[in-house]
Chain A
């Protein structure tokens, strides 16, 4: 479904997906092991914990031309560092406000909790997100990035 839409308007979004080492990255791995078919238009960056993803990381991704950014980590209570994902929520809310100020659509930013066993869910979320960002079109900030 997602693939069809992408073909339609010829635009492939670039999505940066931050995944924590202990859950979400393993979740993405799980999706691969289980041969889940899903959109390839994302790049994973592994962090030790979702709490590591500072607003600066996300803005940098947009600065360098990302069309959307996904931050993912363990479910509440499962964080390897106990409260890292709670910190991630705080940072994420701050980033969201900054993204709003910059005039970027809030839908370009997403926070999800994906466990190591949820490979299918990882695939679904990426598909959904790619779909959404494709609808939004290229980020207005992309054009000048390389100059």
Chain B
């Protein structure tokens, strides 16, 4: 059924030495017992690849990229997982959807060409946006998250509002796309390439139509997808992409942002898409350390060692996910910080959800705030 040779070539599968480093750093293996990246590779190489394609475990990987970083033989395990999922998906398999499959359906609905969304209501009049211009802000799925996760106290749209506030502070009035679609990140990582391609084409076409030269992202997943994956599937983009943290790090370097003091100890959760996938570790930290009064307290595992927030692509949320999240929250609390700063709306949601458990102990109770919201709060 599956063609392993092609995939193995692309991902250096046959380089595997079975050293098991991948499994020892894998956050799922740590708590989830059954799952082992090393065994997944060994099984494939030893002729059981077809079996793997119908195995639930193919959907377990968080694609956080921890194993890639540690592999001494340069095996790209996350890419292997992704390619195998494409084949698995073709034969009708899929991961276990969390939240009743609402986000999976949502992204698929977004591929419809007749879609006319109503997603701009949040952009109130005090936020200055313009109809046309060179600078576009890609909001992502925040309006949907805002509705869906309101009951666990997550106001996702605060992120979008804060981004606009910061940009306005810098004298920029960004363009927003009224019919922007999901970037397709989750489809890309769960093997649905047909729908991914459709979303990519829609989004790139709309941005081109708007005439924007630079597109700014607050969501690391959208950013990664545009930066690394879109060019491979829809050709050259024809506009620049930049993440909010990179953009602002450049601005704080020449003092364009005026902050008032915030007396707080903060710790920062590196999102896997921004960190390990794109290597952006310093810009968010430069931004945070520029806010007067803020002290950055690092968790023992940070930067390329940062532990993932426990769930990806809205699939397979289970006890293992919860344990990863609680472990991470505990670690954040142990730094002595008052605030855990996240750079990805999904990390924010996942941690908030883990805390909303009524039995959650005090050792995981730490305030959580998004990087954009915190930055906007510190502006004069």
Contact = CB atoms under 8 A, between A and B. Distances in A.
Contact of A55 (B109, B115, B148): B148
A59 B101 CA distance: 9
A62 B115 contact: no
A145 B150 CA distance: 29
A18 to B, nearest CB: 13
B255 interface: no
Contacts, number: 72
A90 B198 CA distance: 33
Interface stretch (A20-28, A30-38, A94-102, A122-130): A94-102
Interface in B348-366: none
Contacts of A94: 147-148, 150
Interface stretch (A8-16, A110-118, A136-144): A136-144
For this complex, into which size category does the number of interface residues on chain A fall?
A: 20 to 34
B115 A101 contact: no
A97 B109 contact: no
Interface in B79-116: 97, 99-102, 104-106, 108-109, 111-116
A35 B35 CA distance: 56
B115 A57 contact: no
Given A54-B99, A101-B147, A141 B115 contact: yes
A12 to B, nearest CB: 19
Nearest to A96: B147
Given A56-B97, A60-B101, A98-B147, A140 B114 contact: yes
A56 B99 contact: yes
Interface in A60-106: 60, 62-63, 90, 94, 97-98, 100-103
Contact of A141 (B97, B102, B112): B112
B265 interface: no
Nearest to B111: A144
Specify the main secondary structure of chain A where it touches its partner.
helix
Among A62, A94, A102, max chain B CB count under 10 A is at A102
A63 B119 contact: no
A140 B104 CA distance: 18
A98 B113 CA distance: 18
B102 A102 contact: no
A140 B118 CA distance: 14
Contacts of B232: none
Interface of B: 97, 99-102, 104-106, 108-109, 111-119, 143-144, 147-148, 150-151, 194, 198
